[in-house]
Amino acid sequence: MRKNRKNKRFIYLISPNEIKEEEFYSNLNQVLSSKKVNFFQLRLKKESLKNQIYIGKKIKKICKKHKVIFLINDNPVIAKKVNADGCHLGQKDMNILMARKILKNKIIGITCHNSIRLAKKAIDYGADYLAFGSFYSSKTKKIRYKASLKILTLAKKLTNTPVVAIGGIKDTNYKKLLLNKANFLAISGYIWNNKKLNPKEAMRKLK
């Protein structure tokens, strides 16, 4: 397995839907110290702008300490305010060309669901990575689009732009995505909402 994967930092970690307790920051510090995380995305759909900026600034310091790329979900304006490394945009979020005017040369990733058409459009607009999914069932968010392993093969033939796989990824299914050439695995619920393992223990099982 290790021979097939040169990238040791293969995890694209997404925050839990809510961050209410101080314990989260200490857990995040432990998880990022594993040196397996390349990106951390702050995804707080229901939090106020003020709180997102406050939380974002605290997380940015932890990410910087561990040399992890810090991204904001949905909102390039918040990404600029907290001086994040970039943002992730869904298909219903701000247009990537408008986001580029705000963030300049910072990282912008695009959700492509299960569509090569959307991937081609994102590539044409200069996306820094393409996110496909959901590959497996997930409790983190409602699944509207189901992706197959074939989409990874098609994307790799199409472009050298990094590919992120998302949706229900955990210790029992992650290797298949890496073997099918996903560059990064977007993981959230398995780390933060695992009923059997704490975040550090859950991360340890992803080798």
The dihedral over CA atoms of 179, 174, 141, 70, expressed in degrees to the nearest 10, equals -80
Q: Is 2 part of any domain?
A: no
Please state whether the peptide bond connecting residue 134 to the residue before it is cis, i.e. omega within 30 degrees of 0. yes
- pTM metric for this prediction: 0.94
Q: How many domains does the chain have?
A: 1
For the chain, give the percent of residues with pLDDT over 70.
95
Q: Is 155 part of any domain?
A: yes
pLDDT at 6: 60
For residues 59 and 28, the answer to whether their CB atoms sit within 8 Å is yes
For the chain, give the percent of residues with pLDDT over 90.
91
Q: Is 3 part of any domain?
A: no
Q: Is 115 part of any domain?
A: yes
Q: DSSP per residue over 49-63, as a string? A: HHHHHHHHHHHHHHH
Domain that holds residue 138: 12-204
Q: What is the CATH number of the domain that holds 158?
A: 3.20.20.70
Q: Is 66 part of any domain?
A: yes
Q: Is 103 part of any domain?
A: yes
Task: Flag whether pLDDT at 147 surpasses 50.
Answer: yes
